[in-house]
Amino acid sequence: MIPSSPPHQQQQEEGVVAVYGIEMQNRGHAALVRKVLVLSTVGALFAISNSLRSGIRTTSGDAATTTIYILLSVALGLLVPACGWLGAKQSNRNLMCCFCGCNLCSVPPQIFAIIGLSGLIVLSTVFNDWRDECDAGDTYIKIDPYTADEEEYAVSDENMSITCDDIDSITGASSLPILIIIPIITIIFNGASFYYGYKLYSILGEGVVLGVPYTNTSPTAPAAAAAGVWMGSTVGPQIVGCQDAGDNGYVIHQQQQQQQQQPSRMPHNIMMVNGHTSGIIR
């Protein structure tokens, strides 16, 4: 049976959505795939920037060593975003498991980082009062900086582990409140990646194929006929199409285009195959 409308019109009516080269029928799945792909892209950018920053700041030596370090760091950092990207585009449940699992495992270290930075901020406020007790000649801070009798509470170098330089380094770290923002943003990002990645992982576990690769060009007639794809054109109120496995579909399709351009040469109900009259379409 010949369909009443071309395939591309039917797809538009059914709500086909193209997401980064993937045609999807379900708009909810399309939105979920788009979120995972965006999060994977942002994660890849973060991994590259962090690798470049750490490579430039921590490495020493010749340029070759620094370059190798940065390349290896970038390659390792892109593994998780690549799992998310490929898993979403190829409907691969194993890759999605890796993506959401690794993002979940990244949350606890960031929580510990926030706790540690919060402790340093609290200590910096306490040690700020002790900073004035560090005179120019002192190496180690006294036990009780508030006592009036400094000689009584003075300690030797062997019994004290906090130096005045340590106090200066803690109280002078004015960027601590700014640094604590980084793990907070990381937790939000990793949490979102885990949440949407796990939702997509669960959908793939139901055996759902998310979509097919999107092509913006129509297939050639022989390839479309071999694949069983309907190709046809509309001439006036009639629909003319072909489901043949040969090249006739292309000839008929081209003939109908000629009829559209010159409708007076032949009645609309005559079908031409290879330039000859084949029959009347009823």
Q: What is the pLDDT of residues 46-77, one digit of tens each?
A: 999 888 887 777 666 677 778 888 889 889 99
- Could you read off the pLDDT of 168-217 as tens digits, one per residue? 665 555 567 778 888 999 999 999 999 999 999 998 888 776 766 555 55
- Could you read off the pLDDT of 110-159 as tens digits, one per residue? 999 999 888 877 777 766 666 666 654 455 555 444 444 444 444 444 44
Residue 233 and residue 254: Cα distance in Å, rounded?
A: 9
What local confidence, expressed as pLDDT, does residue 212 receive? 63
Residue 29 and residue 203: Cα distance in Å, rounded?
A: 9
Whether 240 is in a domain gets the answer: yes
In the predicted structure, residue 252 carries a pLDDT above the cut 80: no
HSE-up (13 A, CA, CB side) for residue 237? 1
Residue 232, strand partner residues: 241
What local confidence, expressed as pLDDT, does residue 192 receive? 94
Domain of residue 263: give its range. Answer: 221-280
Whether 2 is in a domain gets the answer: no
Same-domain check for residues 92 and 119: no
What local confidence, expressed as pLDDT, does residue 19 receive? 75
Instruction: Please state, for a pLDDT cut of 90, what percent of the chain lies above it.
Output: 23
Give the global pTM.
0.56
Same-domain check for residues 138 and 184: no
Among 76-85, 212-221, 270-279, the minimum mean pLDDT is found in 270-279
Residue 10 and residue 239: Cα distance in Å, rounded?
A: 15
Cβ atoms within 10 Å of 82's Cβ, excluding its own = 18
Phi, psi dihedral angles at 99 (to 5 degrees): -65, -55
> Is the Cβ–Cβ distance between 271 and 259 less than 8 Å?
no
In the predicted structure, residue 230 carries a pLDDT above the cut 50: no
Tokens standing for 200?
Answer: 């997509």
Cβ atoms within 10 Å of 84's Cβ, excluding its own = 28
Same-domain check for residues 18 and 49: yes
Whether 1 is in a domain gets the answer: no
What residue has token string 């990381």? 186
Residue 213, strand partner residues: 22
Same-domain check for residues 60 and 189: yes
Same-domain check for residues 157 and 123: yes
In the predicted structure, residue 244 carries a pLDDT above the cut 70: no
Count the domains in the chain: 3
Identify the residue with better confidence: 24 or 33: 33
Whether 125 is in a domain gets the answer: yes
Whether 18 is in a domain gets the answer: yes
> Is the Cβ–Cβ distance between 80 and 43 less than 8 Å?
yes
Identify the residue with better confidence: 25 or 131: 25
> Which residue pairs, CB below 8 angstroms and at least 24 apart, start in 151-160?
none
Same-domain check for residues 139 and 40: no
At residue 221, what is the residue type? A
Tokens standing for 204?
Answer: 């793939």
Residue 24, strand partner residues: 17
Same-domain check for residues 152 and 202: no
Among 138-152, 237-251, 253-267, the minimum mean pLDDT is found in 237-251
Identify the residue with better confidence: 173 or 257: 173
Choosing from 191, 213, 235, the residue where a domain stops is 213
Most confident of 32-36, 65-69, 235-239: 32-36
Residue 170 and residue 230: Cα distance in Å, rounded?
A: 73
Identify the residue with better confidence: 28 or 267: 28
Same-domain check for residues 119 and 132: yes
Same-domain check for residues 276 and 168: no
> Is the Cβ–Cβ distance between 74 and 51 less than 8 Å?
yes
Same-domain check for residues 209 and 228: no
Identify the residue with better confidence: 170 or 19: 19
Same-domain check for residues 42 and 68: yes
CA angle, 224 then 227 then 229, to 5°:
55
> Is the Cβ–Cβ distance between 91 and 204 less than 8 Å?
yes
CA 198 to centroid of chain Cα atoms:
14
CA-nearest of 205, 215, 193, 195 to 92 is 205
Residue 29 and residue 199: Cα distance in Å, rounded?
A: 10
Same-domain check for residues 103 and 114: no
Identify the residue with better confidence: 12 or 100: 100
Q: Report the mean per-residue pLDDT for the chain.
A: 68
